[in-house]
Structure 1
């Protein structure tokens, strides 16, 4: 039986977002448990971070083994896990070089720097990067300016200049923004925070052709959509293209702070002093990344993600038909259910507060829900989540 909720004394924690009066203390697979013993079916997984769920045995083993050997030799030296993960990533992608970072925003910041450095060397100082409305690239000053979230380019003014916004899946809107100052186009293959909006294959292929013809770099931000989330190891692989730069975060560490900036040999033009970081390539974190990528590459794993994505899509479409909603969209296990009204926040609250077991879901926009379960979520857990959702929708109907 769940104990009565108790007030959480978190007065020392800086306020950045409203948090419910509960504390999470344990996780296993697709389930979280709070300090009162209540369990939650977790379809957030840290915003697509815990790609292998909570307390993954392979990750724990890698973390423990590395902690006993070496935690931080400083980034002035190579370490074994750094080299192993770099090789794993380049052997399974179109890229040749990897820089490890701590967060997706940091990786995207590095991508912006790399593109501008390339522009200095190859395009007479071109520095402008075309991004897209409703995009999300991080919370640093530059990545907020790059993001297409309304108001983010001026929230901490003066903003970082050089980011023009096009419309996703509209090549003409990109072409209209191109000048001799344009160095790159940067986009998410699936806009996550923007409402789980996938790019079309036609658009991605046309955009890649256009950027190549005009000596413009193509940067894919796969912080949320990468690392198996869409059913391929990297989301760009759905489209039959090869970008110049890619960023990874969230899933690559499976829950620990790890991110990566990847580039082709032709673009990897940093020289000493251009890029760095105290913890970049930290062996403790990168060892976990090796375990994550090896598990994603295990025979049949990515195929199972695609199968589970199809199941989730089918179930969400059934719910949409039952409650006269507006359908679903997404790729793999990054999906959204479009609601017929602005009830997203209310559903999130009802799901979390449900007893005896709660459900953790997300509403990045008032009229939709976003689902980011562990990539090894079970079919039964997918059906259980959808049945809970039906129960909640009935309460609001």
Structure 2
């Protein structure tokens, strides 16, 4: 069957690359013609373990033969272990499993609203950041500071104000007695690869403690090892009240989560306040547990820490070499190169695919680098070679 026939029956909301992918192995993808591509996108930060990972695949196959779904009317051992793994890794206490990142954000918003409601605050408000991206459902979209995404779907959730990222005074100026939470990505992704600054994060934590409002860290893209720590907020020496996770949490299986502190758990959602038919089912949680097992046994975090400086150095050298590559930014294996307006990022991505390198974009005109966390030094060198072949076309 011609894969392009899908266009006849699928809602056309994606501008797909002219590429039919059939299989993957390690950090490489293969199309329907057998061509090999070096993957530095990882399914938009999802495939932390690369492709055809033996232990991960075997765990899913084993669970498939046992039990896929029961609903949350019953206990299952996989969810208990997955919750323990995620709670220990995050430093928080209680986990709710969802099917996606945007659902995790929706749940976190409900947690914050209920926490405020229990204090007697009605019509509670949020402070989010400019250039943010938190998802496409109406609640998550309301926190996403992009008028292009929001305009056709208004009115959105009311009571959301946008402050300047890494500008504490801008946040404080938006604060009022109805504020229930401050929401931010520890490293901004879709809006451009932009890490939080340590003093900014510390000041937010202090403010939230003083005002008894919740600090919500969106770790959907930057979490699960991409920064060299399980969660990027660890770099800044703070602990949020609520954290959202997805993408690499399931390494390709659809699973997300929001995680809360014990204090928040005791003063927010109660029986009947929230739910999910599929969230936390045995198959999804088998995937989560397999990911944590692989991270431990294969020292995934150590690999990111070891190679991050080399990846940064490699990208910085491209900034120095090509005058239309303006700057590098990022943390760990979440990096971006900003291009001058005279070179369109879409054209560079197209040329990169011709040279058998898969990258994606972000921000206004940025290249985004989200490789599988298992890459080796020689694959960073291979990426540079292929990218340079692509960039030379624009000199």
With the length of structure 2 as denominator, give the TM-score of the two structures: 0.95
The runs of at least 4 aligned residues of structure 1 exceeding 6 Å deviation read: none
Higher helix content, 1 or 2: 2
Q: Which residue of 2 aligns with 1:312?
A: 311
Q: State whether structure 2 residue 326 is matched by structure 1 residue 326.
A: yes
C-alpha separation in 2, matches of 1:105 and 1:93 = 19
C-alpha separation in 2, matches of 1:168 and 1:91 = 28
Q: CA 1:7/1:301 → structure 2, altered by over 3 Å: closer, same or farther?
A: closer
Q: Which residue of 1 aligns with 2:85?
A: 88
Q: 1:1-397 alignment to 2 at 5 Å?
A: 8-10=4-6, 11-125=8-122, 127-268=124-265, 269-298=268-297, 300-324=299-323, 325-341=325-341, 342-354=343-355, 358-397=356-395
Contact kept, 8 Å, 2:193 with 2:363, in 1: the verdict is no
Residues 253-287 of structure 1, C-alpha deviations (whole Å, 9 max, x = no match): 01110101100111122112111111011110110
C-alpha separation in 2, matches of 1:62 and 1:123 = 46
Q: Secondary structure at the match of 1:155?
A: helix
C-alpha separation in 2, matches of 1:31 and 1:338 = 25
Q: Secondary structure at the match of 2:22?
A: strand
| Range moving further from structure 2, 133-142 or 303-312 | 303-312
| Range moving further from structure 2, 280-289 or 18-27 | 18-27
Q: Quote how far apart the aligned CAs of 1:153 are.
A: 3.2
C-alpha separation in 1, matches of 2:247 and 2:374 = 16
Residues 344-382 of structure 1, C-alpha deviations (whole Å, 9 max, x = no match): 11000111133xxx1111121343200000000111111
Aligned CA RMSD, in angstroms, stands at 1.4
Contact kept, 8 Å, 2:56 with 2:294, in 1: the verdict is no
C-alpha separation in 2, matches of 1:123 and 1:305 = 45
C-alpha separation in 2, matches of 1:115 and 1:153 = 22
Residues 142-169 of structure 1, C-alpha deviations (whole Å, 9 max, x = no match): 1111111233333212221121100000
Contact kept, 8 Å, 1:126 with 1:180, in 2: the verdict is no
C-alpha separation in 2, matches of 1:153 and 1:121 = 30
What are structure 2's unaligned runs of at least 5 residues? none
Contact kept, 8 Å, 1:85 with 1:289, in 2: the verdict is yes
| Range moving further from structure 2, 89-98 or 165-174 | 89-98
With the length of structure 1 as denominator, give the TM-score of the two structures: 0.95
C-alpha separation in 1, matches of 2:232 and 2:351 = 33
Q: CA 1:91/1:363 → structure 2, altered by over 3 Å: closer, same or farther?
A: closer
Contact kept, 8 Å, 2:360 with 2:367, in 1: the verdict is yes
C-alpha separation in 1, matches of 2:300 and 2:320 = 30
Q: Quote how far apart the aligned CAs of 1:56 are.
A: 1.3
Q: CA 1:261/1:7 → structure 2, altered by over 3 Å: closer, same or farther?
A: closer
